[in-house]
């Protein structure tokens, strides 16, 4: 084992490192990995704490399997959550984190998740029936509408109505800032968060957050005044839960957790779906192969068959590999002296599993910048080589739900509609707050209906 040390990293001015990180994070990470390998240190403002970026599968395995007592995420790891709040699952640690995960896991898995199949299909139809022959539309906007309504139903047990339309508008606006770089700078430097009125970046953020809070608190109040024990949505579950002292969750705790699920489950799935449509309609051979597979599922394929379709699975996997919406996992704070990949790390050091760089390792994914779903048919990757949903005690709680939704939406849309891209713009990933979205909404148009226009049949078991 080496002496106490840190992995190498750029020696340039720390502000310059921070500037590059804010303005072109993915390019900067690629430059660093070329120079310093698959474990390197960056010191980013304003604290300049060493942050170790890891894209080495063995080291990622160590990170994901280390006891959270020694290495964990949460607010202590520097996760600043001005939108989601301090009670968000993302910010919690230790026992409270474990307890909250246990509560939130069942509604997003198994039978409870499969029960959303019909809803996903209905919502997809509602949204896509608005498409008009030949008229260009933004795929990202359509996918945002679908994924928002789906997650709203799962979380609140409700959809539509003026309150929810307003919430949808606000969430889309707050998650897609007009000036993403300014937002990124404000998130990194809390002292820049100054409210100069609703036209200023931070003032506008605060105003939207306040409007979102009003809607969520109104919903919580309504539920408290009209309790309905037959409801099985996540809000009802959280309202019924009691901690060890027999206390229910407070309104602020409920608000933070609800918003976390809405935000974490909405834009991530919508952007991933928009990427999938982009690739499928940019590469005719991929589209042909996928349609052949979907058509072979028969007249009325059931959701089980869709979930198990190998090429559809490969297309989703490759979409999440190439431009993962979470380019890196949550920061993990070293809490006790720890050795990772031969480096002795001191408490206070931050370790970040770098999903984007791992997914672009040429030894694992040759021609990594190309969209090639076949790589997932030819080879199996370990959870430390392929990690779009992170791993360990922080692995995405919505993973199964997101994959289920992606596959059902893709199968329904592709079986029903003939689409083509309405422009030939190259779309690239750009930072949008915590996640990486698309630089463009992906303009497409309908060129016809497909004959195999069948709904996906509901299923009960996988």
CB of 413 to ligand HEM, least distance (A): 17
Pick the binder of ligand HEM from 89, 184, 249, 297 (CB under 6 A): 89
By CB under 6 A, residue 117 contacts ligand HEM: no
x/- binding map, residues 142-181, to ligand HEM, per CB under 6 A?
---------x------------------------------
283: which 2 tokens?
């590469």
Element (H, E) at 204: helix 201-225
x/- binding map, residues 269-308, to ligand HEM, per CB under 6 A?
x--x------------------------------------
Greatest pairwise CA separation for the chain in angstroms: 67
By CB under 6 A, residue 397 contacts ligand HEM: yes
Beta carbon nearer to ligand HEM, 102 or 224: 102
Pick the binder of ligand HEM from 25, 177, 398, 429 (CB under 6 A): 398
Pairing of strands 343-345, 338-340: antiparallel
CB of 63 to ligand HEM, least distance (A): 9
260: which 2 tokens?
């976390």
d(CA 398, CA 110): 12
d(CA 121, CA 412): 7
Q: Where are the beta strands (DSSP E) in 129-192?
A: 137-138
Q: What's the residue count for the chain?
A: 462
Q: Where are the beta strands (DSSP E) in 106-150?
A: 137-138
In sequence order, which residues have a C-beta less than 8 Å from that of residue 273 and are 6 or more positions away?
139, 143, 146, 147, 406, 409, 410
By CB under 6 A, residue 411 contacts ligand HEM: no
Pick the binder of ligand HEM from 373, 391, 429, 433 (CB under 6 A): 391
Q: What letters, b where the CB count within 10 A reaches 16 and e where it falls short, cover 123-150?
A: bbeebbeebeeeeebbbbebbbbbbbbb
Candidates 160-168, 275-283, 388-396, 417-425; binding stretch for ligand HEM (CB under 6 A): 388-396
d(CA 310, CA 292): 12
CB of 206 to ligand HEM, least distance (A): 24
Candidates 117-125, 206-214, 298-306, 392-400; binding stretch for ligand HEM (CB under 6 A): 392-400
Estimate to the nearest angstrom the gap between the alpha carbon of 168 and the chain centroid: 17
Size, binding site for ligand HEM by CB under 6 A? 29
Candidates 207-215, 262-270, 306-314, 439-447; binding stretch for ligand HEM (CB under 6 A): 262-270
223: which 2 tokens?
């539920």
> Is residue 388 within 8 Å of residue 423, measured between CB atoms?
no
> Is residue 189 within 8 Å of residue 45, measured between CB atoms?
yes
Pick the binder of ligand HEM from 101, 109, 287, 457 (CB under 6 A): 101
d(CA 173, CA 196): 19
Candidates 172-180, 202-210, 247-255, 390-398; binding stretch for ligand HEM (CB under 6 A): 390-398
Candidates 219-227, 261-269, 375-383, 408-416; binding stretch for ligand HEM (CB under 6 A): 261-269
By CB under 6 A, residue 330 contacts ligand HEM: yes
CB of 345 to ligand HEM, least distance (A): 18
Pick the binder of ligand HEM from 264, 334, 345, 413 (CB under 6 A): 264
243: which 2 tokens?
């901690």
Interface residue list for ligand HEM (CB under 6 A): 89-90, 101, 108, 151, 260-261, 264-265, 268-269, 272, 320, 325-326, 329-330, 388-392, 394-398, 401-402
């Amino acid at each position: 084992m080496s002496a106490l040390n840190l992995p190498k990293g750029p020696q340039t001015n720390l502000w310059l490192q921070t500037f590059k990180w804010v303005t072109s994070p993915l390019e900067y990470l690629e430059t660093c990995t070329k120079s310093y390998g698959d474990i390197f240190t960056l010191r980013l403002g304003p604290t300049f704490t060493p942050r170790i970026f890891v894209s080495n599968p063995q080291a990622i395995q160590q990170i994901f399997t280390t006891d959270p007592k020694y290495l964990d995420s949460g607010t202590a790891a520097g996760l600043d959550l001005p939108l989601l709040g301090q009670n968000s699952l993302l910010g919690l640690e230790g026992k409270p984190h474990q307890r909250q995960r246990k509560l939130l896991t069942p509604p997003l898995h198994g039978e409870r998740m499969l029960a959303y199949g019909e809803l996903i299909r209905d919502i997809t139809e509602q949204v896509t029936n608005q498409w008009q022959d030949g008229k260009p539309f933004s795929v990202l906007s359509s996918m945002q509408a679908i994924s928002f309504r789906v997650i709203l139903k799962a979380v609140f047990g409700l959809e539509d109505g003026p309150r929810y339309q307003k919430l949808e508008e606000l969430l889309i606006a707050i998650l897609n800032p007009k000036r993403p770089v300014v937002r990124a700078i404000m998130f990194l430097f809390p002292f820049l968060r100054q409210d100069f009125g609703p036209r200023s970046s931070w003032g506008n953020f605060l105003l939207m957050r306040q409007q979102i809070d009003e809607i969520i608190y109104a919903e919580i109040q309504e539920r408290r005044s009209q309790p309905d024990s037959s409801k099985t949505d996540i809000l009802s579950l959280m309202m019924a839960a009691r901690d060890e002292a027999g206390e229910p969750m407070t309104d602020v705790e409920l608000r933070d957790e609800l918003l976390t699920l809405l935000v974490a489950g909405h834009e991530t799935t919508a952007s991933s779906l928009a990427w999938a449509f982009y690739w499928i309609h940019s590469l005719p051979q991929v589209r042909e192969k996928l349609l052949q597979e979907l058509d072979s599922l028969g007249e009325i394929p059931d959701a089980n068959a869709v979930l198990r379709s190998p090429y559809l699975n490969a297309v989703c996997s490759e979409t999440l590999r190439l431009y993962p919406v979470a380019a890196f996992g949550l920061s993990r704070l070293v809490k006790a002296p720890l050795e990772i990949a031969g480096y002795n790390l001191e408490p206070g050091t931050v370790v970040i599993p770098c999903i984007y760089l791992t997914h672009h390792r040429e030894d694992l994914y040759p021609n990594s910048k190309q969209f090639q779903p076949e790589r997932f048919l030819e080879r199996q990757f370990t959870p430390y080589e392929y990690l779009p949903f992170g791993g360990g005690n922080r692995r995405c709680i919505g993973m199964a739900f997101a994959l289920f939704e992606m596959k059902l939406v893709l199968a329904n849309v592709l079986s029903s509609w003939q689409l083509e891209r309405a422009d030939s713009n190259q779309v690239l990933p750009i930072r949008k707050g915590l996640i990486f979205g698309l630089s463009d909404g992906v303009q497409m148009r309908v060129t016809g209906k497909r004959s195999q226009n069948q709904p996906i049949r509901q299923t009960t078991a996988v």
